[in-house]
Every structure is written in structure tokens, then in C-alpha cells.
Amino acid sequence: MSDEAYFTCEQRGAAGMVILNRPKALNALNRPMVLSLLRALDDWENDPQIERVVLVSAIEKAFCAGGDIRVLHDQGRAGEHEDMLRFWREEYVLNARIKHYPKPYISLIDGIVMGGGVGISLHGSHRIAGDRYLFAMPEVSIGFFPDVGATYALPRLPGATGVYLALTGDRVGAADALAIGLATHAVPSARMAELAEALTRREALDDILGGFAQDPGPQKLAAERATIAECFGATSLPDVLARLDRAAADGSAFAGKVRQTLAVKSPTSIAIAFEQMRRGAGMDFAEAMRTEYRIVSRVIRAHDFYEGVRAVLIDKDQAPQWQPATIEALDPAATEAYFAPLGADELVLES
């Protein structure tokens, strides 16, 4: 299948319709897909016939499972760092374009949405979660970090849930997503195609969505929200860990499990992610994207990203050898260095 077929952009009635259709890669984003969406958004912004942008997936399993990490890994191993950074520059420009898009931008998410898929949906005006919705930012598992605007969006979720999601990579469904603001509406999977068709009609958007929205049922994290707020609301990473240890000692099985989860993630990635969340709460979106570009420019020249991709996606032995191996062994100055300005190489976003 050609790159063009992976990502179709076309007018359907009142909607600029974007169809993700790369089934073998669970709709993972590559550079041609990013550029196609950027061009479509430019074309549709001033087209009076286009009232809204609608993103849908042609496959049931995933909306978009992320970026094409294996390709990026291989480029890095070959020393093609500029090619890697070109992808991230364009992806981050796209994320900012979506955040500030002047027309309703509606993602129908009925399957896996991770990494880059979060970047092309979360910053839009409307995120519709189907029964199969499954959100995660699992980058700490591969020695990377939660990017595509997570620095801005996750710290703004209530009760430190965004910090929790960034550091653990935990997966949440439609009910939790709606409760904490990752999703704006929940709609049954069986009605998603009907909703996509309705969105092509020249009717009031709120009326259309109101006719499809439903209660998604019980939340997975509801019983743990207080523990999450207490532990992940700490102002330092050592304090997060200490609070989890205390909660586990006081009988919280959830806190004990989370502590075990953190123990197998990249310590460097966890430290970066925590610092993102701490700083990001006070950043505007453009500053957050510049910060992420600073981080990624260093991550691709460090050890853990390549080791994580090897262990999880290539050899699949699930036994990464992180450097350093533990959170306790981290040098705070090394974490700080990921956030340093890039001078002439800073990310430039369109105004």
C-alpha cells in the first residue's frame, strides 16, 4: 500500500474527512502521513465548504498506535539524526497546528491511541471515545519520553492523573478518559460509522454529538484516584517514590504494583517525564513543544532509546539494560541537560 493510501484526506459534505488506513502498523504515523495532514489542514482552513475536520480509522483495532518508532530507531543506528529530527519537527508543527486550528477538529477514537496518535487527536476540540478506546503514553518503556504535546496536556489533567500516566504508561479506557478530560464524549462502537456520516451534514455540531453520546460505564481508576493524587502530586521524583512506598506499606496493593511498574521502566525516561510534568504545568503550548524538541534532540544521541526499542520491538526479550540501571543512580544534572536550550537549532513553529 502506498503512503498516500495510508492517509486519505477528502471532502465529504461539510467535513474534511481524514481516514487512517495502515493496518499492518496499526496506523503508526510516518512522515508522508504527517505532511498530508498538514497540507489538508492548510487547504481546509479557509474553505467555506469545510465546517469541521473529522479523523477516523479504517481499522477496528487502532485509531493510531504512535509514530513509526522502528524506522526512527534504524535511522538513529545509521547515524541519520537529521532525518529523525526532521520527522519530529514536522510532527510537532502539526501538533501545534491542531491545537490552534480555528475549525472544530473531531477525532473518532475507537481503538488504540498512543504516542503520535495522541498528538493528532488530543489537542483537537473534540475527542470521541468508542467502546474499544484505549489510551496510553507508554514511551518510558522504550527509553523515550511522552512527547507530541504531553508536556502541556498531561499536567493539566485533574488529580495528578497526567503525571501518573506519563510515568507509568498505564492504559485507560473510555470511562476514565471521559472522567479526566482525555475524551470529550463517549459513543458506542456500533454507532461510530453512523456518527462519522452525521458529521458530514450541515447541522449544528453540538446537536449531532448530543444525539450519539452515552455513559461509558465504570472507571478503572475511580477507586485509586485519591492514591494517585497523593503520590503523584509530590513535587519531586524521590518524594513520589517515597509516597508510593508508604502507601504500599499501609496496605495499598495499587501503590505496590505501581512501584513495581516504575522499577522496570527506563530510569532516565521516568526522570525526564517527571520534569516535563513539573515544568509543563506553567508552559504555553509553543514552549512545551520547544521543550520536547530539546529533549528529543538529546534522547536520539543517548543510550536508552535504542536499548528500549531493541528489547521491546526488535529482540522482544523484554529485558532492557538501562544506563543508569536505577532511579537512585540518576544524576540530576544529567536530567537537567535534556532541557537546555538548543540555540540556533531551536524548534520553529508557524505563527
What pLDDT is stored for residue 6 in this prediction?
A: 87
> Distances from the Cα of 62 to the Cαs of 33, 52, 146, 259, in angstroms?
16, 22, 19, 29
The residue that leads in pLDDT, 157 or 7, is 157
- Binned at pLDDT 50, 70 and 90, residue 3 comes out as low
- Binned at pLDDT 50, 70 and 90, residue 100 comes out as very high
Within 8 A by CB and 6+ apart from 247, the residues are 227, 230, 231, 254, 255
What pLDDT is stored for residue 284 in this prediction?
A: 98
pLDDT at 271 over 80: yes
CA angle 293, 298, 300 (to 5 degrees): 95
Query: How do residues 17-63 score in pLDDT, each as one tens digit?
Result: 999 999 999 999 999 999 999 999 999 999 999 999 999 999 999 99
Q: What is the mean pLDDT of residues 228-252?
A: 98
Q: What is the mean pLDDT of residues 222-232?
A: 98
What pLDDT is stored for residue 331 in this prediction?
A: 95
C-alpha grid cell, residue 94: 502539526
All domains of the chain, ordered by start, with CATH?
A: 1-133+173-220 (3.90.226.10)
What pLDDT is stored for residue 5 in this prediction?
A: 74
Average pLDDT, the chain: 96
Residue positions annotated with a catalytic role: 67, 116, 139, 147
| pTM of the model as a whole | 0.96
> Distances from the Cα of 326 to the Cαs of 96, 179, 269, 329, 331, in angstroms?
34, 33, 11, 5, 11
C-alpha grid cell, residue 260: 513495581
Query: How do residues 159-215 score in pLDDT, each as one tens digit?
Result: 999 999 999 999 999 999 999 999 999 999 999 999 999 999 999 999 999 999 999
Contact of 172 with 136, CB cutoff 8 Å = yes
CA dist 183 and 77 (Å) reads 37
Three-class SS of the chain:
CCHHHHEEEEEECCEEEEEECCHHHCCCECHHHHHHHHHHHHHHHCCCCCCEEEEEECCCCEEECCECHHHHHHHHHCCCHHHHHHHHHHHHHHHHHHHCCCCCEEEEECCEEECHHHHCCCCCCEEEECCCCEEECCHHHHCCCCCCCHHHHHHHCHHHHHHHHHHHCCCECHHHHHHHCCCCEECCHHHHHHHHHHCCCCCCHHHHHHCCCCCCCCCCCHHHHHHHHHHHCCCCHHHHHHHHHHHHHCCCHHHHHHHHHHHCCCHHHHHHHHHHHHHHCCCCHHHHHHHHHHHHHHHCCCCHHHHHHHHHHHCCCCCCCCCCCCHHHCCHHHHHHCCCCCHHHCCCCCC
Does a cis peptide bond (omega within 30 degrees of 0) precede residue 324? yes
Closest CA relative to residue 83, chosen from 73, 94, 92:
73
